[in-house]
Structure 1
Amino acid sequence: MRERCPARALRSLGYRGVSAAIHQPRLLRFIAWIAQKQPWFGHLLKAAASRADVVNAFERPLAFSSTSHRPNLVAGDFIMGMESGARHTAERRLLEAQFPQPEAFGQFATEAARTRIDALREGPVRVFDLIDDYMVPLAWHAISGAFGAKLPPLPPGDSMLMNLRYLGAHLIVGPVATEAVQQRARDSAAEVNAWVRSHIEPLREAWSVDGMTPSREEVARNVVGMLWVGHPATAQSGALIMQELLARRGEPRVKDFMARVLAHDDPWSDAQLHGEAKGHVLEALRLRPPFPILTRDVRRDTLVGVDGSGSIDGGTRLTVMGIGAMSDPAAMRDPQVYRPGRKFVDERDRYLMFGWGARQCPGRDPVVEILASALLGLLRLPDVAWADPWWRRMQFDGPIIRSMRLRFRH
């Protein structure tokens, strides 16, 4: 049954509001700061906002379940929407067994970065779209390292790449998406599933370990999940990192890093520069995480917060404001300062944007390697900067960055 006009209007308004909020990290940090200072406000919002409360929620997966992501998983079952337990553990082991060392992902990303940057520098135009012309093909090539390089190359603008992007948008705002967005995601899910199954035999061969070959369904389910979760999130993260660096290019640490990368003939081969690039990746994503807030299903009436000062009813949802935890003064000194390689009270917080503990993203280290290689490539472009005035620098399709044009000098 079609929604009535007022219901459609409210849903559209909610979708636009959530999509806009995702790209307002200062606003989200401000809300989290209020919740940290005034616990009653966090209880009112049903939100965990401090570092202690966020980690506490992550460490109680039976009370706060990741099944809240199931409505977003329109492309099929995947570990991120599974309840913690034996099945989640087994699926995660299957997935992680396919990953080569993280450095291998960096090598694939470096190959793609060299190719893309050389093409841009040799081309007649000094303006490019960071999303379509760089991050999307780079992420595709780099992620293929998890499949024994069995993924076929895709030309820019290929429908498969667009389908992954639409599914990535659904991952962020599935529950509040409009019917048109929901239908687009369902269509894309069908296309991605059909595409993966048409390439299933070489993928099964790539996933064979010690003579043991997973079933077609095991491979298909996990490949689909890895692609539509990992590819658009990696591309979006690259854009968020550059957005943060361009806003800070006049700061000494950023200016110096950019200059040294540009002056280097082969920055990927320099271990120190590569380590610094990873530091910039993690610090930029601390301030602009691709998933600044998450949700968790509350399985039963339970106390929230480390001190148990609040309660939340079973059958509702807890909002986990990871962006607040990553700017909590209790976790680090001067959280408002941009400081790559910063010290944390608990060093595990360095990767908090990827989740926590047994539920942390299994692609954490590969993604950091990919993004570091991508960043070193971008900074080889002389004087890379925004190509458009501030009011149209970034174009959005709901919560995803559709376009981000940059320029560089000859």
Structure 2
Amino acid sequence: MSLDNSQILRFTTAGSVDDGKSTLIGRLLYDSKSIFEDQLDAIEKTSAKKGHDGVDLALFTDGLRDEREQGITIDVAYRYFTTPKRKFIIADTPGHIQYTRNMVTGASTANAALILIDARNGVIEQTKRHAYIASLLQIPHLIVCVNKMDLIEFDKAVFNSIKADFLSFVKTLNTKDVNFIPISALLGDNVVNVSENMPWYEGETLLSTLETLKIDDDLNNENFRFPVQTVIRPQTASFRDYRGYAGRIASGSIKVGDQVTLLPSGLSSKVKSIDTLDRSFNQAFAPQSVCLTLEDDIDLSRGDMIVKSDDTPSAKQEIDLMLCWLHDQPARPRAKYTICHTSNEQTAMIKEIIYKVNINTLEEDGIDKQLAMNDIARATIKTTKPLMCDAYGENRNTGSVILIDDTTNETVAAGMLL
């Protein structure tokens, strides 16, 4: 499939403090001419007030006042821009170790992850943590940007040494597509424009890499999963007998006439129509939002799932998963939480912490089983009713869950099913 500007590439940025993430995103937006004139005027005025000679590129992403006053980015910032080849959504995540949880938030739906490494410091603890989380979330494409090459005189040997160190760490991870680009976000080398300072680098610029990444196969196109979000029952004379099941196709495709099974009831039927607001289709694909009608009058509700009869997911009440703890309050033993899986919500509890992962060594610690913020662990969760789920490695949409604390309504953890 050829690239077109209707494709949306979602990517996240990650790195340590002062690695230049905000400057890099600012450079991408500035050099690709994706900044509105009024925004550019405001940034230029702010830069002048702060005493900068030129435009402070970091201000394009540091949009909150307290971020600017402290000189740090403190939350996930989403930015959007378009080039003639593709549309982009950026999740700019902070580098502070206490905000690692934000990378899980920003990377959960990403096609690619940009991991920044300061060329002066090389691969450090936060680099390993971010690479591991990217692998855990099975982000299809990893782009390692070795930044601040201007501060090491654009030394090829340093770049190659960092590349070797990073590859040595990730060789045990489930990381398939890794690209390395030497850049200077401040000066613009290899971000949008080819660097004249690094003629030894023969690869593409960062923007060119982002524009040409093949993302058609990032979704699961094999297993049809349709979580029901709501039931459509128009109260009009012309649609009096209409009963449609609306939602977003999580994976796979469906055609009119396909035999489907309805979960958790296990009843079967055939697809009668595939509708949207103004037209009907013979076939639909992920991630389209559609309304399905069936040949049989069957009771379905939010949280149920429609699948093809020859391809059904597992129904489990005890689920093994990798759990990323996101909240500053630690996990409470055998406490009850609300588990959200696709459109299904029900009560669950953490039955057992099997082991925690040491991010630096990737070793498993089966003794310390207290979950605090930023901890990653393998756990078993028990639910009140079975969940229709797939392994996260096979289907990111139906293999992921979040846990919500009922007392505060805050998201406390994200999980990837094994």
TM-score norm. by structure 1 comes to 0.22
- Larger relative CO (CA 8 A, sep 6+): 1 or 2? 1
TM-score between the two structures when normalised by the length of structure 2 = 0.22
Higher helix share: 1
